[in-house]
Each structure stands twice: as structure tokens, then as C-alpha cells.
């Protein structure tokens, strides 16, 4: 059968035919419009026929076959066609329709060492998966530069090798990225010495990156601009009610973007009027839930949050109905609200509202200790930066300019 004919016919043929009815039901449950589901299934009927014609075993079916199919189709693919086929492949792997593709394992001495370092960070240091995602590529890059394709020989490693690697990375990125490189490399070198792979403590020779704490003012919005930001949400729409609830959590409780994204239905304790926050370092904290924040959450949960398998509070408005892919979605919500209100601060991420809350509380008389408790800072000196915006207190201790009478 011709591929174009397979796309046009409302019938299932080929090796994937038995799975398409269930996959169609899954798409319906994810909130796709009826016409969108029909378009997706029609495309997948053609893909099923193509798999049959090409005699592709299901055990070998992968994303590269989707690309080949769309190329050989001879038509201009619609936006999202490749994603539709990848959706089907993910569904088939989840349900056992096709084998799960195992990640390629690096069995070299270098790969095993990186895996051991990752296990050390996770189990002994208690670091999060996101931290490992940041650290391990840096370590792999260091080993690649020093030893190429050979097994690591740390007896050859010298202080100058470490310095040159850091300088190259520091010149290629931001100061924050350079600090991450230094931290990851210092941790790796200590790991090597602890395991007896490195005789000299090279970690002490890792230089610091110039970056002075408290060297800048926290970027914040005045209280009236925060209220304008909240008022910009059209609460007559589902997206507006969801975004308003997100912004209220940021603006009233000072939550981080990742903390809002990770919030689950189980974290809302309505009986006690509290919210459980999954903070940095895998720490949990219970915060009181203000009435206006709770009301915003109730409006969204009752009217707009769809029934779905995830327990996350905030769900995509458009299909597929699932939780946010990453905390960057929270930053996008803040950015859109700033654009609606015509505000153009230098920093436009979710942390802007956290800084704004702390700054406005300080100006209204809250102490740094109280602000640190609300923001859940583990170290008191983290809160010190907000002392720089307390102009009244600074004026009282400022020394007169030499030669000028006060």
C-alpha cells in the first residue's frame, strides 16, 4: 500500500496496529482535541504501514526510524509529526510493546571512575541528581583533556594541568560557571585522594574564582509593582488562574521556582493551613499558608486543574496534560507577567519575586533573622545582602564625607 494511501485511510495496518486503539485512548485522556487525536492516529497508521513494508523488527524500532519515515513520506511534515511518533515509541516502551532502549554504558576505566564518583556524590555526600548533572560532565571533560582516550594515570597529573583546565573553562563562560567548575574539580580531586588514586592533595591547589559576596544589590521590584504583576493575570481564564497561583507562591512566600514546580497535592495541608516545601539540599520545611495564597490555589484546583496521573499541583494548560518539564517554566510565567505590565527589570526570573519579598519586608521593619527564616536560608550570612537595601539603617551609621560637615 502507498504511504499516502495509508495516511488517508481510516484503518490500522502493520506491526503497530494492535497498539493504536489504546494509544488513541491515552491521547484522549491527556486532553488533546478530537481533531488533533485523529491527525495523530492517521499519521501513526502510516508509520505502522511503513514499518511493515520496511520489515523493521519491533525489537529494533527507534527514533531514527521516525526520521526515515518522515523523510520518505515525501510530504512536508506538519509541526509536531516527529514528536507524535516519539510519543508512540515512549508509550510502547512503557507498556512493553517494544523493548526499552538501555543507555550506552561506558565500560572503560574512565567511565567506571566517573560512575564511582557519581555514586560517591549521591550516597556519601547526599547530593541531588541535578548537582550530579552539573558536576559529572565537568569531570569527564577534565579527564578527556588530560588523558584523551587512554586510561587515567594520575601519577602524571600536576598542579599546572589543573590550573590550565580551570583557566580555559573560566575564559569560556560566566563567573558563576567558573565557580561550578572549581567546585566540581576540587570535589573530584579529594575523591581521588580518598580512594588512594592520587598521592598528592591537589585539591588544595585549585584556585578560587574572584567573586565578592555582597558586591551587588539584590534585584527587586517595589511593592506596588509586585501588585501590578499579580493583577496582570486574567483570572477569568484557566491559564490566568494557574499563573496567578504560581505568582502568589513566589511573591507571598518567596518560594524558589523549582520549589513551586515540584509542589504536589500532598504538600498542601488544608487542615493545618500549611504548605510543605521541598527545598535545597533535600530539606523539607512547613510554612503557614496565607489566606490569599490558599484562595488562589483553591480557585485553580477546583476550576482548572485536570484529572491526571501526576500529583504535581501545576499542570500544563494545553495537551499533553502533565506537570512542568522543568523549573524554567516558572521563570517563563514571571517573564510573561513582566511583559504584560511593561516592567523591564535587569533580572526577569522567578528569583526576582523572592528578592522583592525580602526587600519589601525589610523596608517595612522585619529583621534579617525573620527574613532568613521565611526564605529558609541555612546560613545567616546568606541573608546579609538584604542589609544593603535598608537605606534608613545605613544612613544612621554612614560616616561623613571628609571635609564636608554633616
- Residue 274 pairs in a beta bridge with 269, 288
274-278-281 Cα angle (round to 5) = 140
CA distances from residue 363 to 236, 357, 358, 387 in whole angstroms, order as listed? 33, 10, 9, 10
How many C-beta neighbours within 10 Å does residue 8 have?
11
> Is the Cβ–Cβ distance between 333 and 247 less than 8 Å?
yes
9 is an active site residue = no
Taking alpha carbons only, the member of 317, 373, 379, 327 closest to residue 349 is 327
**In angstroms, what CA-CA distances link 239 with 249, 297, 312, 332?**
16, 13, 16, 13
280 is catalytic: yes
Is 351 one of the annotated active-site residues of the chain?
yes
Cα distance between residue 395 and residue 382, in whole Å = 22
Element (H, E) at 284: strand 284-288
In the residue annotation, 335 being an active-site residue is answered as no
**Residue 31 per-residue DSSP state:** T
Catalytic member of 15, 110, 256, 355: 256
Task: Find the catalytic residue in 158, 280, 283, 318.
Answer: 280
* Selected catalytic residue, list 169, 351, 355, 376: 351
Residues 6 or more apart from 152 whose CB is under 8 A from it? Answer: 109, 110, 113, 143, 146
Q: Would you call 318 a catalytic residue per the annotation? A: no
Distances (CA, A) of 84 to 32, 65, 70, 72: 12, 13, 11, 17
Other C-beta atoms closer than 10 Å to the C-beta of 275 total: 24
Residue with grid cell 541535578, as numbered in its chain: 130
Among candidate residues 177, 228, 377, 388, the one labeled active-site is: 377
Say if strands 284-288 and 274-278 run parallel, antiparallel, or are unpaired: antiparallel
Question: Catalytic one among 19, 354, 355, 376?
Answer: 354
Please say whether the beta carbons of 85 and 68 come within 8 A: no
236 is annotated as an active-site residue: no
Active site residues: 256, 280, 351, 354, 377, 386
Amino acid at each position: 500500500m502507498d504511504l499516502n494511501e495509508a495516511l488517508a485511510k481510516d484503518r490500522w495496518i502493520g506491526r503497530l496496529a494492535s497498539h493504536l486503539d489504546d494509544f488513541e485512548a491515552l491521547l484522549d485522556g491527556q486532553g488533546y482535541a478530537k481533531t488533533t487525536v485523529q491527525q495523530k492516529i492517521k499519521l501513526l497508521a502510516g508509520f505502522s504501514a511503513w514499518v511493515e513494508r520496511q520489515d523493521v523488527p519491533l525489537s529494533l524500532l527507534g527514533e531514527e526510524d521516525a526520521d526515515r519515515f518522515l523523510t520518505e513520506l515525501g510530504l512536508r511534515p506538519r509541526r509536531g509529526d516527529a514528536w507524535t511518533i516519539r510519543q508512540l515509541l515512549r508509550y510502547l516502551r512503557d507498556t512493553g510493546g517494544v523493548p526499552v532502549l538501555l543507555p550506552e554504558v561506558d565500560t572503560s576505566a574512565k567511565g567506571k571512575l566517573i560512575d564511582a564518583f557519581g555514586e560517591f556524590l549521591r550516597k556519601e555526600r547526599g547530593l541531588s541528581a541535578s548537582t550530579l548533572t552539573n558536576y559529572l560532565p565537568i569531570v569527564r571533560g577534565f579527564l578527556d583533556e588530560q588523558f584523551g582516550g587512554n586510561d587515567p594515570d594520575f601519577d602524571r597529573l600536576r598542579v599546572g594541568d589543573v590550573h590550565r583546565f580551570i583557566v580555559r573553562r573560566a575564559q569560556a563562560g560566566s563567573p558563576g560557571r567558573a565557580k561550578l567548575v572549581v567546585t566540581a574539580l576540587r570535589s573530584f580531586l579529594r575523591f581521588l585522594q580518598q580512594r588512594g588514586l592520587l598521592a598528592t592533595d591537589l585539591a588544595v591547589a585549585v584556585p578560587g574564582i574572584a567573586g565578592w559576596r555582597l558586591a551587588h544589590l539584590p534585584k527587586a521590584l517595589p511593592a506596588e509593582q509586585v501588585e501590578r504583576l499579580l493583577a496582570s493575570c486574567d483570572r477569568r481564564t484557566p491559564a490566568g488562574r494557574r499563573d496567578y497561583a504560581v505568582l502568589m507562591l513566589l511573591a507571598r512566600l518567596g518560594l524558589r521556582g523549582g520549589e513551586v514546580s515540584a509542589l504536589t497535592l500532598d504538600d498542601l495541608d488544608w487542615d493545618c493551613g500549611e504548605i510543605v516545601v521541598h527545598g535545597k539540599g533535600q530539606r523539607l520545611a512547613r510554612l503557614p499558608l496565607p489566606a490569599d495564597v490558599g484562595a488562589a490555589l483553591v480557585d485553580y484546583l477546583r476550576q482548572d486543574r485536570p484529572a491526571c496521573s501526576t500529583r504535581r499541583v501545576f499542570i500544563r494548560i494545553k495537551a499533553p496534560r502533565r506537570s512542568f518539564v522543568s523549573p524554567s517554566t516558572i521563570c517563563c510565567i514571571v517573564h510573561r507577567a513582566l511583559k504584560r505590565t511593561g516592567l523591564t527589570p535587569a533580572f526577569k526570573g522567578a528569583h526576582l519575586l523572592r528578592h522583592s519579598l525580602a526587600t519589601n519586608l525589610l523596608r517595612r521593619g522585619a529583621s534579617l533573622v525573620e527574613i532568613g527564616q521565611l526564605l529558609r536560608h541555612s546560613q545567616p550570612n546568606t541573608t546579609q545582602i538584604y542589609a544593603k537595601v535598608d537605606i534608613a539603617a545605613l544612613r544612621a551609621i554612614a560616616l561623613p564625607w571628609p571635609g564636608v560637615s554633616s
